[in-house]
Structure 1
C-alpha cells in the first residue's frame, strides 16, 4: 500500500491529467475533477466515478448547468498499489476510463479496448 497525503495524491492526479494526450482532454467542457478519500459507501472497491451526462446523451447542455464531475478516490487507489509508479499507472488508466464515460463510451467497450 502506498502512503500519500491528500496534497501529494492530488498532485499526482494533476500530473497524470497533464500527461494525457491533447486530443483526449481538449474536448472536455463543463467538467471538474475532484479527489475524495472514499466513495459514500466507504468501500475500497471503487477507484473513481463519472457523475454527469455523457456527450452522446446531451441535448441542450452547458449554459447554466452545474459541471459534470469525475471523482477520483484516494484511499482505494492507495490500497490497490504497492509503489508510486504503480499508482501513477493506475491513475492513468482510471482517468482514461472516466473520461471515456464523459465521451459516451460504456464499460463493455472499455473492456473490449483494455481500459477497464
Structure 2
C-alpha cells in the first residue's frame, strides 16, 4: 500500500533528509538544484530519482553562467514504493545519496558494490 502525502509535506521530508546528510557529502556540491516532480515525462512510477548534469569527474571546465545540474526526486514513484512514513524517509535518503553520488562521478555498478543501489 502506497504512502499518501501532499506535495508540501513530501518536500519537507526531502529537505529534512538533505539536512541529515553528512556535511562532507553536500559541502562539495556546486551549482546543483534539488527538485521534486511528480513523475518523469513518461509517467512511470519505476524511477525514483535522477541526476541531470555532468559529473564533476567528467567536466573540462565549469564556470560562470552554466545552468545548474539538477537532482530530481519523483514524488509519486517514491510514495508508491513505500508502505509507511519511515520507509519513505529511508527511500528518500537512499535516493538522495544515489543521485549525489552520480554528481561525484560514482556509477551504478560502484553504488551497487557500496549498497546504495
With the length of structure 1 as denominator, give the TM-score of the two structures. 0.99
* 8 A Cα contact 1:38 1:74, kept in partner: yes
Whole-Å separation in 1 of the counterparts to 2:17 and 2:81: 17
RMSD of aligned C-alpha atoms?
0.5
Aligned to 1:111: 112
> Structure 1, residues 13-67: CA drift from partner, whole Å, max 9, x if none?
0000000000000000000000000010000000000000000001111311000
Local SS of the residue matching 1:38: coil
Alignment check: 8 A CA contact 1:30 1:62 kept: no
Q: How many residues align?
A: 116
- TM-score, scaled relative to structure 2: 0.98
- Which runs of structure 1 show a deviation greater than 6 angstroms over 4 or more consecutive aligned residues? none
Consecutive unaligned residues of structure 1, counting only runs of 5 or more, are: none
Matched, 1:8 2:16: no
